[in-house]
Amino acid sequence: MTNSINEIENSEVLLVAGSNTTEAHPQVARRIYDAVDRGAKLIVIDPRRTKLASRAHIHLDIRPGTDIALLNGMMRAILDDNLADDLFVEMRTENFYALRDMLYRLDLAEVAAVTGVDQRLWQQAARLYARARKSVICYCLGVTQHICGTNNVQAYANLAMLTGKVEKEHCGVDPLRGQNNVQGACDMGALPGVFPGYQPVSDPKARAKFEQAWGVRLPAKPGRTLLDMTHGGGNGPVRGMFIVGENPLLSDPTMDKVRETMENLDILVVADIFLSETAQLADVVLPAASFAEKTGTFTNSERRVQMVRAAIPPLAESRTDAEIVIALANRLGYSMHYQSTAEIMEEIALLTPIYGGIYHDRLEESWGLQWPCFDRAHPGTPFLHKYMFTRGKGHFVPADHQRPAESVDEDYPLLLMTGRIYHHYHTGTMTRKSAALNRECNEAVLEINPADARALAVRNGERVRLASRRGAIELKAGITERVAPGMLYTTFHFAEAPINRLTVADRDPGSQCPEYKVCAAKVEKLT
């Protein structure tokens, strides 16, 4: 997030895109509600009529994967109404003319046709967003999990820059992170092309710094992306995997392909707190400690680094992730010794400029520090891009609408979206162990529009077969107006109905994020 979560409360216009915030980020949703209570206007871009969408002043119920077309339409409306922030565009951005030319060539009728949204509605939304002094964009996986995910994000960034809605408090572009520490994992270089703190492996200076600190030679070439590993693409097959706290068998697209890759490995080692579906395929399972058993930090959506402290020692034979990595490193011949996790944090501070001033002792008695935090005296950074973008000037990247990888056709006439629900988390490795959560929800439900259900003679609660070109599962039908006719929605929490058996492996070329949000499917009655 470029903002802090609390800033949302004081924004005047909230544009929420591809985010079922109420269920996926209740703490953020609450602030959105509070903002609306104070008179803020809410615009929701979502194909589904989520709880938030039903409370929105404007709900732009686009067809899945048509964000770029919609955003181009909105930006065109802003140009037509002279609502662009000319000074900001002039001083702080570059490549504006490319964007402008593209927008002037735009066929507005086609935008309406592609998105399925009334032109007046998106124009209204554009004016609302552009005219307010404080407008914030929150987006989530409905924007990123497309083959054009990077361009989608860029389109939202274009909108924010065009209207100067960045650089200030209560203005910005905020991706809502899905896990308590996914931000921290990325910050620490759990990405193919960067060292901790987003220092590129291709940068010789960065490389030299880490080589000196760690006493090893480091590759200059980015590593493999997740799907290259789990789908065996790229440069020849992967022979061994060490998977920490992840369940790719259920969470990665095209499950049967993932299983094939896993089964063909020379060795699979999984460290997890429970025996996940992936761990069941492993040669070696290392029992890991839970959050309550370790001391360290998590970094949340708003870049806030916070301490967690072990409440109990690790149970039975389990060990913390750090202990596992250290023991493995030592056995593999690399000597690694730390007295405490605080000492690891000191190394992070030493090598990672954005974490340069973050130490355990500073975090002990506070609610954490938001990076960038360059040195001990630095107070942390509530919102980003003040006075200057990280890269210098903000670069407009015009983009055209791109069709999803798979379109509906006669054989697979329904468009399937996947996502999450309130009571379960990811592949359910933890939440489905909870009797309380299972009582609230213990089975996958396929959301289907009443019109489609009627055409298929499917009753509410009936078990149906859901199939795509890649596979089929059985699950319960839930008839609801939340999804539009022709669309389906379900979640990936349930191993009994593994939805990623159906999804496509096509992905965004930039982020390598697969298109979980769109595939063609059909529903069949079980006889």
Partner 1 sequence: METRYILKKDHLAPWLRRVAKSHRVVAPVKNRHGDTLYAEIDGLDKVELDLAGQPQASAKSFFLPQQEVLFTYRTGKGGYEFHEPATPAPATVYFGLRSCDLSAILYTDVVFMGRHKDPGYRRRREGAILISIACHQPHPNCFCHATKSGPFLEFGYDLQFTDLGTRFLVEAGRSRGETLISQWRPFFSEAAEEDVKLQYQLALEANGLFRRNVDVGCAVRKLAEGEVAEGIWRELADRCQDCGGCAYLCPTCTCFTIRDEKLGPEHGERLRCWDACTLEGFSRMAGGHNPVAREQHALKRRFQHKLRDDVHKHGRPSCVGCGRCVGICFGGVDIVGFIDRLSEEDLP
Could you give the C-alpha distances from 334 to 191, 212, 215, 326, in angstroms and in order? 22, 14, 10, 9
Give least dist CB 445 to partner 1, A: 11
Q: Which of 6, 26, 101, 411 binds partner 1 (CB under 8 A)?
A: 26
Q: 176-205 mask for partner 1 (x: CB under 8 A)?
A: ------------------------------
CB 140 within 8 A of CB 176: yes
- SS3 (DSSP) at 148: coil
Paired strand residues for 392: 389
- How many C-beta neighbours within 10 Å does residue 401 have? 21
- How many C-beta neighbours within 10 Å does residue 19 have? 27
Interface with partner 1 includes 33 (CB under 8 A)?
Answer: yes
What residue type is 508 in one-letter code?
Answer: D
- SS3 (DSSP) at 304: strand
- How many C-beta neighbours within 10 Å does residue 376 have? 12
Interface with partner 1 includes 526 (CB under 8 A)?
Answer: no
* Stretch near partner 1 under the rule CB under 8 A, chosen from 19-27, 155-163, 167-175, 266-274: 19-27
Site residues for partner 1, window 211-240 (CB under 8 A)? none
Site residues for partner 1, window 34-73 (CB under 8 A)? 34, 51, 55
**Helix (H) or strand (E) run with residue 207 in it:** helix 204-214
The 3-class SS string of 475-519 reads EEEEECCCCCCCEEEEECCCCCCCHHHCCCCCECCCCCCECCCCE
Give least dist CB 394 to partner 1, A: 34
Q: What span, in angstroms and rounded, lies between the C-alpha atoms of 423 and 412?
A: 30
Give least dist CB 436 to partner 1, A: 7
Interface with partner 1 includes 436 (CB under 8 A)?
Answer: yes
Give least dist CB 467 to partner 1, A: 25
Interface with partner 1 includes 312 (CB under 8 A)?
Answer: no
Q: 401-430 mask for partner 1 (x: CB under 8 A)?
A: ---------------------x--------
Interface with partner 1 includes 439 (CB under 8 A)?
Answer: yes
Within 8 A by CB and 6+ apart from 208, the residues are none
Interface with partner 1 includes 14 (CB under 8 A)?
Answer: no
Give least dist CB 256 to partner 1, A: 31
Interface with partner 1 includes 435 (CB under 8 A)?
Answer: yes
Q: Which of 107, 400, 409, 440 binds partner 1 (CB under 8 A)?
A: 440
Residues in contact with partner 1 by the rule CB under 8 A: 22, 26-27, 29-30, 33-34, 51, 55, 309, 422, 435-436, 439-440, 461
